[in-house]
Structure 1
Amino acid sequence: MKSTSLSLIAGAVALAAVTGFAAVTAPDDGATTVTKSAARLPVERSSLLCPAPGLSDLAETQYTSFTPAAKSGDAAEAAGTAELSSSTAAKDDEKDSGKSQSKDKKTKKADPDKPVVLLKKPGKPATAEVSGADAPALVGTATGPLAPGWTAQQTTTVEAGDSRGLLGVSCTAPDTDFWFPAASTAKSREDYVHLTNPDDTAAVADIELYGPDGTLKSDVGEGITVPASSGVRVLISTLTSKAADDVTVHVTTRTGRVGAVVRSADSKTGSDWLAASTEPTGTLVLPGIPADATSVRLVAFAPGEDDADLTVKLLGKTGAISPVGHEDLHVKSRMTAGVDLKNLTRGEPGSLLLSPADDGKATPVVAALRVVRGKGANQEVGYIPATGPVGAQATAADNRAKGSVLSLTAPGAAGTVKVTASAGSKGGTPVTKTYEVPAGTTVAVTPPVPAGLKGTYALTVETQSGGPVHASRTLTIPMGGIPMFTVQTLPDDRGTVEVPAAEQDLSVLDD
């Protein structure tokens, strides 16, 4: 495996989840301290990783970075950094039995001192565009007022070839554990795991594969070195000799941390990114199935020792219904279960809710949907992983004047959210609108567009009351008669962190 250093999103705009902490120490006079109730404060530093597009010489990629404006709506005055820059390398390493989609193109070195994207202030997106297959992976850090809620999206269009499609992915925080249901080692598929290391020391990762009959054994997926500030992509069909339509990919690290995402390409239905499912839990929400979906396939996996029995419900415009013939799903322990839900939506948008069939037993599972729109030669694929609720705030960074649909679902109690369309990257005035989501339903709306929009804009969703509310944004850009689309889920951006308060307690000095 060759290794190459990777591009840096230098400075600032990184969506890494930052874990806040507060230290409590004894003062010089020996008095101890006591804690008050914790306060939620904005994070001061966050990190983010974007995978290398690495698709085709025909690929056109746009990066959009955005930090929501402060609650007051005023631009922050404190110093902060938000700069996207490239390092000395322009291409990720590749472990794919010698295959390459850009064999004749030489690797280009980038100027490490020249910023690619400079985000100047919260509330207005910054963008950059790159072409071809040599665009590298990106890694970066946001500080100061640009850190809380920082979000970035990588959107790639490929008009022809096996990798054709609209591929979108929200750049992810580094972590040590990722689950990807709905991958595949079938002959018609070419799925890569992209691993990106943000740190200045090497990371070591393991990739485990689980098919319908259990573990797909392979020694090749163990101990994969991801060099410092570098990216590696691994073709998962080279990790096993078995072909399986539905495969769950589990990425863990032995040392260090990585960003991980799967790029899936199908010879018939095109390409898109598959983001990680939310961590294993007993109840899952998969929001935002398009109304015109022609095929919906659910893939689930139970990583523990127990089988999972799940109730499957579609949360539509008027309430919850059970898909005929697929009201329940049995997922055997450590075996991937896949079921074709076919014309699930029947012309209406919806979201899928998976909950324990037995109220007394909630077995943790992960899940994702493979969604196809169009027919025949005009099909296009997208993926919807299970996701957490919007929480305090969540953002979709890349939206155009047309083509965005925002899906909001309240699986339990009714909820109300506020949606803010930011200023445009090249001009426009923010617009805000409030939506009510009835209990047990999905509301799919054309989101507000900034007045006088020029360029692209961001959508920020904030929970106002009730809920929880889960959300996703579908971006559609038709090309050549194909309804090319991509779906990004909107979990809480973790822009604030709980910090315990402390004060001196001199009473402990009394006898």
Structure 2
Amino acid sequence: MPKDNTTHSSEAARQPDGTQTGGEAPGKKKPGKKAPGKKALGTKRQRHGIVTGLLSAGVLLAGGAGVVSAAAVLPGPAGSRTLEAALSDVPAGRSTMVCPGPAVLPEGTVGTDAQFSPVSRTAKNNLDALVLSDSTGALPGSKVAALDGSGARTVSEAPKGTPAPAPGPPALKAAAVAQSAGRITVLNAEPSGNQQAAMAAVGSYSAADGDLRGLAAAPCQQPSNDFWLLGADTTLGRTALLNLSNASGTPATVNLELLGAKGRIQSPGSRGLLVSPHTSRTINLAGLASDEENLSLHVRSSGGPVAATVQQSVLRGLVSGGVEHLAPGAAPADSQVMTAVVVQDPKTIKALSSKSGFSDAVPALEITVPGAADAVLDVKLFGPNGQQALPGGGAVTAKAGAVTEIPLTGVPAGTYTVSATSDVPFAAAARLLGNPRESAPMDFAWSPAAVRLGSQHIVAVPQDGVRFLTFGVPDGRATVSYTPVTADGKLGKTESVDIAGGTTTVIGVPAKDKGPAVIGYVVAASGDPAYGAVLLGEKDGPGISTVAIQQGAPGHEKVAVTLGY
């Protein structure tokens, strides 16, 4: 794992190095006048047409000024009045996050040899959840439960009254829960003081044996009706299972748009997928798009919003190649940033990727362009000491309506931030590796495009393994502050780091044996755009994974309302 770049005490760890026409009303005959003859009538009509045409042109040219003058001179209709726009409160509602379920083998997987059994005897699935109080110190009512509502466990009790704001700085506190999670779990929290609850949770999986050996983690998601998932692979030895979860009381109908290296993939089974309320549905993506090395999914639902992850695993013969939960990243845009991107020794990667079955054993950037125009990309890598040039240069063209993979090889080993900009919107994610060895189990992870850090983000971290906070600033300069939250609900001392543009900073999370276990952080940033993620590893294994820092809670929202009568 990357080295801690800060001066405070942290755990030492191994580096896993998209003509108004001038029409006119016909003239009316004046009463009492004799109708003209045909010839005279034709002449008058001709003159009338010329004069009227000129008048019409004059009306068109002066129309705008005429309207303004009338509005300025003429009074409004009696009884009509326009009021100034007022800001109205938007009632805060319940916050919901859906956590990934345990990693599972695909249906039909069997094994008889105990030494090479596909089923793990050491697998662990955990949930770590964190809820933050408001400025008065009042915690929202919150609980965790299974997707169907069973097995509910209280995280924090709702306040019995409305406490008055305390003088002085905000008295923040937290409630936390860490538990084993044998199924898909939901974290719910009620609003506090007409504000959405500030909370975060992460689901993690680890195993030291079996076909799904490795480390996989993903943040619990707020359900949505539109998002992207990148990094799936359905080639030989790779398994991609899409898990769709509906935590709402409304049925959800999901449509999948599939994009591969050669363009959009038409699959009859990708549309009209019904997910009933409080249930989940698992789909083997090989049945929708087989033999696709680079597969991206655009997930859209009507009715209830859904949460989704792709359980991606690799098996090379009888040797596990790792497992990961692919989670949604930032929506398509003309600029994307990914951090916590670990690059291994370039010589090791070059030798390994040349072998059969190891073509995906390289760090890489995956670009998906949903629009009709190609994306001309400028890709940059930023490490702790500044920018590292890619051997092939940073200028790349990504095909429209397809997925393009860009290797991140030939640079010194380390932990990087990847920045990509283009003239058209695109989605992006970066692949990283743990323990790249041909004859030994290895692991991989995907870092999805991150959101820009703001004034308050709640970050949950798994309790096991080696853990790091990583922050990247592509341009300018930013200050990032981070406050640890321990398992007993207390907030520790806030520390901050000044990050120069074009660099990446790695901060170690203290180990359990150095005081109360750190279960999360409150992160804030100021200055130029900064991005962050949690990087996870194993002390004595190849496991590696990332957890993106998600968008902060919306807080107290207001909308402008204009009234008229």
TM over 0.5: yes
* 8 Å contact kept, 1:207–1:221: yes
Amino acid at match of 1:66: L
1:280 equivalenced with 2:332 (yes/no)? yes
- Name the structure 2 match of 1:443: 505
Query: CA separation in 1, counterparts of 2:522 and 2:537?
Result: 19
- Name the structure 2 match of 1:10: none
Correspondences of 1:143-182 after superposition (within 5 Å): 143-145=190-192, 147-182=196-231
- Name the structure 2 match of 1:3: none
TM-score for both structures, normalised by structure 1: 0.78
Amino acid at match of 1:278: A
1:316 equivalenced with 2:399 (yes/no)? no
* 8 Å contact kept, 1:261–1:273: yes
What number of residue pairs does the alignment pair up? 435
Residues 488/343 of structure 1: CA separation in 2 closer, same or farther (3 Å cut): farther
Amino acid at match of 2:125: T
Deviations along 1:147-194, whole A, 9 cap, x unmatched? Answer: 432111111112211211111110101111121222111112101111
* 8 Å contact kept, 1:431–1:449: no
Unaligned 5+ segments in structure 1 are: 1-28, 90-111, 357-361
- Name the structure 2 match of 1:98: none
- Name the structure 2 match of 1:64: 128
* 8 Å contact kept, 1:392–1:492: no
Residues 120/305 of structure 1: CA separation in 2 closer, same or farther (3 Å cut): same
Larger Rg: 2
* 8 Å contact kept, 2:155–2:175: no
Residues 427/36 of structure 1: CA separation in 2 closer, same or farther (3 Å cut): closer
Residues 427/180 of structure 1: CA separation in 2 closer, same or farther (3 Å cut): closer
Q: Secondary structure of the residue that 1:363 maps to in structure 2? A: strand
* 8 Å contact kept, 2:512–2:518: no
- Name the structure 2 match of 1:375: 436
Deviations along 1:22-71, whole A, 9 cap, x unmatched? Answer: xxxxxxx99875335789x995531111232142664311111112344x
Amino acid at match of 1:467: D
Q: Secondary structure of the residue that 1:299 maps to in structure 2? A: strand
- Name the structure 1 match of 2:257: 208
Residue in structure 2 matching 1:34, options 69, 84, 98: 84
1:454 equivalenced with 2:505 (yes/no)? no
Query: CA separation in 1, counterparts of 2:298 and 2:489?
Result: 42
The structural deviation recorded for 1:127 is 1.5
1:303 equivalenced with 2:370 (yes/no)? yes
- Name the structure 2 match of 1:96: none
The structural deviation recorded for 1:302 is 0.5
Query: CA separation in 1, counterparts of 2:490 and 2:257?
Result: 47
Amino acid at match of 2:277: A
Amino acid at match of 1:138: T
The structural deviation recorded for 1:499 is 0.8
The structural deviation recorded for 1:119 is 3.4
- Name the structure 2 match of 1:363: 424
Residue in structure 1 matching 2:473, options 410, 414, 423: 410
Query: CA separation in 1, counterparts of 2:493 and 2:343?
Result: 26
The structural deviation recorded for 1:459 is 1.5
- Name the structure 1 match of 2:179: 128
* 8 Å contact kept, 2:230–2:428: yes
Query: CA separation in 2, counterparts of 1:449 and 1:34?
Result: 56
* 8 Å contact kept, 2:433–2:544: no
Q: Secondary structure of the residue that 2:380 maps to in structure 1? A: strand
1:256 equivalenced with 2:295 (yes/no)? no
Q: Secondary structure of the residue that 1:237 maps to in structure 2? A: helix
- Name the structure 2 match of 1:118: 155
Amino acid at match of 1:83: K
As a proportion of its length, which structure holds more helix? 2
Query: CA separation in 2, counterparts of 1:342 and 1:120?
Result: 50
Residue in structure 1 matching 2:184, options 126, 137, 157: 137
Q: Secondary structure of the residue that 1:154 maps to in structure 2? A: strand
Between 315-324 and 211-220, the greater mean CA deviation after superposition: 315-324
The structural deviation recorded for 1:383 is 0.7
Amino acid at match of 2:365: L
Between 372-381 and 167-176, the greater mean CA deviation after superposition: 372-381
Residues 468/219 of structure 1: CA separation in 2 closer, same or farther (3 Å cut): same
* 8 Å contact kept, 2:147–2:279: no
- Name the structure 2 match of 1:350: 416
- Name the structure 2 match of 1:19: none
* 8 Å contact kept, 2:148–2:279: no
The structural deviation recorded for 1:394 is 1.9
Query: CA separation in 2, counterparts of 1:343 and 1:403?
Result: 26
Amino acid at match of 1:85: A
Residues 181/150 of structure 1: CA separation in 2 closer, same or farther (3 Å cut): same
Amino acid at match of 1:273: H
Q: Secondary structure of the residue that 2:329 maps to in structure 1? A: coil
Amino acid at match of 2:342: P
Amino acid at match of 1:127: A
- Name the structure 1 match of 2:313: 265
Query: CA separation in 2, counterparts of 1:503 and 1:355?
Result: 38
The structural deviation recorded for 1:395 is 2.7
* 8 Å contact kept, 1:384–1:487: yes
Q: Secondary structure of the residue that 2:293 maps to in structure 1? A: coil
Residue in structure 2 matching 1:397, options 460, 464, 470: 460
Residues 219/401 of structure 1: CA separation in 2 closer, same or farther (3 Å cut): closer
Q: Secondary structure of the residue that 2:286 maps to in structure 1? A: helix
Q: Secondary structure of the residue that 1:276 maps to in structure 2? A: coil
Amino acid at match of 2:499: V
Residue in structure 2 matching 1:239, options 271, 280, 288: 288
Query: CA separation in 2, counterparts of 1:427 and 1:499?
Result: 30
Residues 60/120 of structure 1: CA separation in 2 closer, same or farther (3 Å cut): farther
TM-score for both structures, normalised by structure 2: 0.71
Deviations along 1:98-151, whole A, 9 cap, x unmatched? Answer: xxxxxxxxxxxxxx3x43452358523212113xxxx32223431133943211
Query: CA separation in 2, counterparts of 1:116 and 1:408?
Result: 33
Query: CA separation in 2, counterparts of 1:255 and 1:128?
Result: 32
